Amino acid sequence: MAQPPNIRGMEILRQYTNELRDVAKRPRSFLTQVLNLGCIVFSALMLWKGLMVVTKSESPVVVVLSGSMEPGLQRGDILFLSLYSEPFIPGDVVVFQIEGRDIPIVHRIMNVHEKDDGKLAVLTKGDNNTVGDRGLYATRQMFISRKEMMGRAQVFLPHAGMITIWLNDWPWLKYVLIGSMGFFVIIGRDT
């Protein structure tokens, strides 16, 4: 039995309306995925800045990149740092940044000299090294000072930072990881 023309026209109109609604939802879904990714990135940044305030360290979390602290600390261990005003003592594991070097160094304090005016002079050494770190310091620098200290290790997670080492050792892995995340954002669907 044939449908009257006005009912058939309403059915076609409903079908086009549904198709337009589906097309309109796709960009909104993509935008939602991008906004979700942005929320994750900004949440991580806020967490990092919050840790900086709580620990008083410019870098509250670092990864051990070399074997100079073995057997105590292995490559890939994550260190959580703080930089409180309590005195540094021999045996503390500290992270320091020498001017002109890009990568911070994780070593143990061997000697501490604190002057009457509060200035600090510290000699460090890696547990796996045979001599102190004077060869790593800047030219004619015998000790490191408080301004070069990034923090003192409080807690460590064994091997939890290996992904950082892999990303440094194989730079192409960064692009694969970022590309994969972008791909999943683009094809991600909300149900």
Q: What is the mean pLDDT of each run of 10 residues along the chain (191 residues)?
A: 60 70 63 82 91 86 88 90 83 88 89 84 89 84 87 89 86 88 69 46
How far is C-alpha 37 from the geometric centre of its chain's CA atoms? 16
Report long-range pairs for 84-92 (Cβ below 8 Å, ≥24 apart): 84/56, 84/152, 87/112, 87/114, 88/112, 88/120, 88/122, 88/149, 88/152, 92/152, 92/153
H/E element holding 113?
strand 105-114
Parallel, antiparallel or unpaired: strands 61-63 and 105-114 = unpaired
Tell me 134's DSSP state.
Answer: G
Question: Which residue is catalytic, options 22, 85, 107, 169?
Answer: 107
User: What is the torsion angle, in degrees rounded to the nearest 10, for the CA atoms of residue 50, residue 80, residue 84 and residue 71?
Assistant: -170
Per DSSP, what are the bridge partners of residue 157?
Answer: 78
Q: What is the mean pLDDT of the chain?
A: 82
pLDDT of residue 6: 62
> Is 57 an active-site residue?
no
> Is 190 an active-site residue?
no
Tell me 186's DSSP state.
Answer: H
pLDDT of residue 145: 85
Question: Which residue is catalytic, options 68, 127, 145, 169?
Answer: 68
**Tens of pLDDT, residues 125-157:** 998 888 888 888 888 888 888 888 888 888 889
pLDDT of residue 43: 93
**Residue corresponding to tokens 């994969």:** 180
Question: Which residue is catalytic, options 66, 77, 85, 133?
Answer: 133
pTM check: above 0.75? no
pLDDT of residue 12: 72
> Is 102 an active-site residue?
no
Q: Measure the CA angle with vertex 132, ends 129 and 137; round to 5°.
A: 115
